[in-house]
Amino acid sequence: MTGAVGIERLSAYLPLYSLALDDLAEARGVEPQKYRIGLGLESMAITPACEDTVTLAANAAAPLFASGEVDPHEIGLLLVATESAVDHAKPVSIFVHELLRAQPACRTYELKHACYSGTAALMTAVQWVASGAARGRKALVIAADIARYDVGSAGEPTQGAGAVAMLVSDRPRLLSVDFRGSGAFAEGVFDFWRPLDRSAALVDGKYSVDCYLRALDGAYRDFEAHRRSAHEASPLPLVDRFGAFLYHVPFPKMASKAHRRLLEADFALRGEDEAPSDDFVEGSLASAVSPYLQACRAVGNSYTASLYFCLAHLLDRDGGRLSHEPISLFSYGSGCCAEFFSGVVGPDAARDDSGLSALLAARRQISVAEYEALRSGQAAPPDAPPDGFRGHFFFAGTERDRRRYLPTS
């Protein structure tokens, strides 16, 4: 098979609560501008006690099936990418498979590589379809995470949560993915990790920023090396090749740093004598990067899902304008593995809605005290979800060490 393959449908999901970072800054005795300007964040998504990674994932995918436009029996591959799994053995994917009533004839598993595994899952699904192994079936890829650092740590303002579900098929109405030309980079580093007995990640913050940028350099060089061996010798400048540049967003300022680094690498690879000027970088940021960071400013880090929240926002906001245009995507997972790849925005991108704006508008702002109570585990999973809950399923606690999920009535 040689036809286009990629994302046919996309649905985003956010938990009900959000915490304003101005409130967190005040509580921690930090200048609010550090979070707003220094990190680029306004608020972060917080999960109520009735929500975990399983419900985030299932609630992201459920609208795709609820409309009747996608049949669960079409799904032959169901992948869930997450850093924040709920069990050491039983994968999030099989809980989701059960909740969505997917067919038994389905390969399903969970993927882990910090924030990178959403892209690993997407590429696996795209290649499964492209290889012909799908035999006309479709893949459901879900990136779902709850980002947690210790309360009071430097990482605390860069938490968040959310999920993005993507239906992958040979009808890429929203984005066709160029899986043949992607560039990868891997290196064993301890920049961010989470030992098995911890619920909050450990991080070497400044070092993690360096690792991210080095991985971007490496993945982009691999992308270019492949492209040059396959195509022309003197490429157009990057800014003329892509209508938008999407990044993994641990915090929005990281994407700005990454874009500057990418443009520098592009200038160097094309043999330019000088580095790009500040005006050039700022202009490119303003037109092709910053507009797609708005969701992440309000959600915070959602690890595997964060790059795909940028994609959801791009499709919702500019899907019509960018239709048929190539865009670039950069995925980074600590530890580390990274991938730089491209796709072409599909013809129907203007018609679909990921649900993101409605979810953002429906969130309830909680206080720092409520957030700290949730983090300390004082709030037990309830019998019913709180008022305003928009998910199709909620977590109802454990029984004999088995997790229970119920439909929202």
- Cite the active site residues: 83, 115, 248
Under the binding rule (CB under 6 A), the answer on residue 187 touching ligand CAA is no
The verdict on 82 binding ligand CAA (CB under 6 A) reads: no
Q: CA 45, CA 42: separation in Å to the nearest integer?
A: 10
Q: Does 21 bind ligand CAA (CB under 6 A)?
A: no
- C-alpha span between 250 and 122 (Å, rounded): 19
- CA-to-CA distance for 48 and 408, rounded, in angstroms? 14
Residue 298, Cβ density class (10 Å: 0-12 exposed, 13-18 middle, ≥19 buried) = buried
Contact region for ligand CAA (CB under 6 A) — 96-104, 151-159, 282-290, 323-331? 151-159
Give the integer Cα–Cα distance in Å for 257 and 214. Answer: 12
Out of 80, 115, 134, 168, the residue judged to bind ligand CAA by CB under 6 A = 115
Beta bridge partners of 176: 6, 344
Nearer to ligand CAA, 22 or 348 (CB): 22
Q: Stretches 59-67, 123-131, 200-208, 321-329: which one binds ligand CAA (CB under 6 A)?
A: 200-208
C-alpha separations of 194 from 202, 209, 278, 327 in Å = 6, 17, 37, 32
Q: Is 107 in the site for ligand CAA (CB under 6 A)?
A: no
**Residue 155 main-chain phi, psi, to 5 deg:** -80, -15
> Does 117 contact ligand CAA by CB under 6 A?
no
Residue 401 — left, alpha, or beta (φ > 0 → left; ψ -120 to 50 → alpha)?
Answer: left
Is 254 a binding residue for ligand CAA by CB under 6 A? The answer is yes
Contact segment (CB under 6 A) with ligand CAA among 136-144, 206-214, 344-352, 384-392 equals 206-214
Phi and psi at 76, nearest 5°, equal: -105, -10
**Adjacent-strand bridge partners of 224:** none
Q: Which of residues 279-338 bind ligand CAA (CB under 6 A)?
A: 301, 303, 332, 334
Least CB distance to ligand CAA at residue 39 (A) = 6
Choose one: 87-95, 96-104, 150-158, 275-283; the region binding ligand CAA (CB under 6 A): 150-158
What is the smallest separation between the CB atom of 14 and ligand CAA, expressed in angstroms?
Answer: 17
Tokens standing for 255?
Answer: 């994407």
**158 touches ligand CAA by CB under 6 A:** yes
Closer residue to ligand CAA, CB minimum distance, 46 or 174: 46
> What's the full length of the chain, in residues?
409
- 3-class DSSP assignment, residue 297: helix
Per the structure block, which two tokens stand in for 405? Answer: 């999920």
Q: Does 208 bind ligand CAA (CB under 6 A)?
A: yes
Which residue of the chain is nearest ligand CAA when measured via CB?
38
Q: Is residue 37 a contact residue for ligand CAA (CB under 6 A)?
A: yes
> Residue for token digits 């926002």?
313
Question: What is the phi/psi pair of residue 403, to 5°?
Answer: -75, 140
Q: Which of residues 333-362 bind ligand CAA (CB under 6 A)?
A: 334
The Cα–Cα gap between 301 and 274 comes to 34
For the CB of residue 305, give the shortest distance to ligand CAA in the complex, in Å.
Answer: 11
Contact stretch for ligand CAA (CB under 6 A) within 29-37, 165-173, 215-223, 323-331: 29-37
Residues that bind ligand CAA (CB under 6 A): 31, 33-34, 37-39, 115, 154-155, 158, 191-192, 203, 205-206, 208-209, 212, 248, 250-251, 254, 301, 303, 332, 334
